[in-house]
Amino acid sequence: MKKMTRILYVEKSCKLLMPILTIVLTLSFASNLYAQNAVFKAGASTANITPPLGSGLVGNFGVPPPANYVHDELHARSLVLDDGTTKLVFVVIDNVGVIREVLDEAKRLIFEETKIPPAQVLISSDHTHSASSASGIGALRGNAHQGKTFDEYQRFLIRRIADGVRVAVNNLEPARIGWGAGNVPQHLFNRRWKMKSPVVNPFGGMDQVRMNPGVGNPDLVEPAGPTDPQVSFISVQSLKGRPIGLLANYSLHYVGGVPRDHISADYFAVFADRIQELLKADRQDPPFVGIMSNGTSGDVNNINFRGPAEKHEPYAKMRIVANDVATEVLRVYQTIQYKNWVRLRAAQSELNLKVRKPTPEMLAYAQKVLAKPDTEKPVHNLEKTYAERTMQLNGWPANINAVMQAFRIGDLGVAAIPFEVFTEIGLDIKARSPFKPSFTISIANGSYGYLPTPEQHKVGGYETWLGTNKVETEASRKIVAEILNLFNQIK
């Protein structure tokens, strides 16, 4: 009797499950059939965003010097991917960092003119230190809550970003896609160093870590963090093999070696030009577009502080770096197995983060510093700069909403974070991501300063100072958790 009951139970269960199983198999068949018949497309473009001569150039401390020379034009470089139902947009801007309001307005125009939703548009800055501010001028610069009163260059930039995406959409053509990663370790050095003796900071305190301590400094102990030698890239070609575009990602802050009054897109533009040359993709119609995005490089530059010291003519070092990175990309590029179709997905969220506020003691110290006569010797050469930043940050709201974003391109995952992200955070995301491979684009969809880990906050240093870092000390952990959550949504 029990055996008969079990048989009847199994039969009944099978009858109940059959419709569900039929639906699953039907959907799976339909999905596979669609993948076989869908046409994958890609398009790329560049839009010139060079400011006029006389514009102030930001990226260094002090009064921004006026631009007197254009060494190379600045661009917003766009890559659009389309799997037949979903479009993903990458835009990389030659700028040190752009506030969210400017990028939100550009996304609004893009949606209005192309119908691509903002969550599927990733706009980042590459972090050249030789461009005009796109985050406001003077006291307004970097104020994330200044509203939507845009200055002349911001309005120009918004229009050109949207124009560039429209051109890339117009350039969409049947394409195949592949990706890869190489290693270029020789140009990466953590710029934060633990020192034998504590070093003074602009707030009257002492740090255990110093940023850019000088080549051959006898007080060097060890780097405060790692580097990530990987250069990741996405390549798209026409079905006949003509290069359409290549988007790379490398965790190097920038190179520099640019005269203070020159406009330049730094090694990011040199890479774009060199990879085009190596791929023999010059003078195509439509043009090939090479793009270099900034990885998780908030604490990494290209200076070997253990020496020996190097000396280069202006622009020489960035050519060396760009050539080495492009050469490694070419090596891996030649091994890629391209796909005629991959699934595209995007997820986005707004993460609420607390803004770091100065303590009453910090405010009192800042007021004291600002009251000092210029004839009095400063305790720290940047104390007045950070006194001003302390007072400015005190006027910020208690919280900000920062855009977190994740893209899926087949088995590849791309994260986007609106901070100058420390390398160890990017390595953590790569290790824990459900997508293999993965990489992170920094200074994306906004710019809120540096993102150290809680452990790095404890040892201090430039990137942790109030004013260069603007959000709660636990922010990196919350951001990593949110990025992983977005990745899991689009698995």
Mind listing the pLDDT tens digit for each residue in 173-230? 999 999 999 999 999 999 999 999 999 999 999 999 999 999 999 999 999 999 999 9
Give pLDDT, residue 145. 44
Q: Answer whether residue 460 shows pLDDT above 50.
A: yes
Q: State the pairing for strand pair 69-70/262-263.
A: parallel
Classify 421 as helix, strand or coil. Answer: strand
Mind listing the pLDDT tens digit for each residue in 305-319? 999 999 999 999 999
Instruction: Report which residue type is found at 269.
Output: A
Give pLDDT, residue 24. 45
- The DSSP line for 266-313 is HHHHHHHHHHHHHTT-TT-SSPPEEEEEE-S-TTEES--TTS------
For residue 407 the two structure tokens come to: 């893209």
E strand or H helix at 326: helix 316-333
The radius of gyration of the chain from alpha carbons, rounded to an integer in Å, stands at: 25
Residue 90 to residue 315: CA distance in whole angstroms: 27
Give pLDDT, residue 136. 80
What is the DSSP secondary structure assignment for residue 349, as one 8-state letter? E
Contacts for 461 with CB less than 8 Å, ≥ 6 apart:
192, 207, 208, 209, 210, 211, 224
Phi, psi of 297 (to 5 degrees): -125, 20
Question: Where residue 59 falls among pLDDT bands split at 50, 70, 90?
Answer: confident
Q: Mean of the pLDDT values across residues 112-126? A: 98
The residue written with tokens 């955070």 in the block is: 425
Contacts for 445 with CB less than 8 Å, ≥ 6 apart:
100, 103, 122, 123, 124, 403, 405, 416, 418
Mind listing the pLDDT tens digit for each residue in 342-397? 999 999 999 999 999 999 999 999 999 999 998 999 999 999 999 999 999 999 99
Residue 312 to residue 277: CA distance in whole angstroms: 24
How many other β-carbons are positioned within 10 Å of the β-carbon of residue 5? 9
Contacts for 435 with CB less than 8 Å, ≥ 6 apart:
408, 411, 412, 413, 487, 491
Pick from 56-70, 86-100, 325-339, 345-359: least confident: 56-70
Q: For the chain, what is the mean pLDDT?
A: 93
Query: 420, 395 in Cβ contact below 8 A?
Result: no
Q: Answer whether residue 101 shows pLDDT above 90.
A: yes
Give pLDDT, residue 10. 47
Give pLDDT, residue 21. 52
Q: What percent of the chain has pLDDT over 70?
A: 90
- The DSSP line for 100-138 is HHHHHHHHHHHHHHH---GGGEEEEE---SSEE-BS-SG
Q: Answer whether residue 140 shows pLDDT above 80.
A: no
Residue 325 to residue 374: CA distance in whole angstroms: 45
pTM over 0.95: no
Residue 62 to residue 356: CA distance in whole angstroms: 24
Q: Answer whether residue 27 shows pLDDT above 50.
A: no
Query: 55, 75 in Cβ contact below 8 A?
Result: no
Q: Answer whether residue 114 shows pLDDT above 70.
A: yes
From residue 263, how far is each of 65, 68, 126, 216, 266 by CA, in Å?
11, 8, 14, 31, 9
Mind listing the pLDDT tens digit for each residue in 397-407? 999 999 999 99
